[in-house]
Amino acid sequence: MNEPRTIEVLLFAGASEAADGADRVIVRSHDHITASELMKQLADQHAALAPLARRSRLAIDQRYVSADHVIPSGAEVALIPPVSGG
């Protein structure tokens, strides 16, 4: 059964800036959500993050995940924006 749930998404760098300096946002969702579904809901529920979310990666428990990865309950979820360096 797809029960309602909230997922806390940690934000860094440009993602935090796009969210007015917040270091995390809450996404309302359902159980058995995949990474790609979460990214879509993140963009839908937090419009300021939408352009950046399309170019970012999702990390679950400090590991990048594929689009079809199901996000477990209680996992640490982070939006990792593009980075550059030299």
Interatomic CA distance for residues 54 and 61, integer angstroms: 20
**Domains of the chain, each with CATH number or no CATH:** 8-57+65-80 (3.10.20.30)
Give the model's pLDDT for residue 85. 65
Regarding pTM above 0.85, the answer is yes
- Other Cβ atoms less than 10 A from the Cβ of 7: the count is 19
4 pLDDT band, cuts 50/70/90, is: confident
Rg of the chain over CA atoms, in angstroms? 12
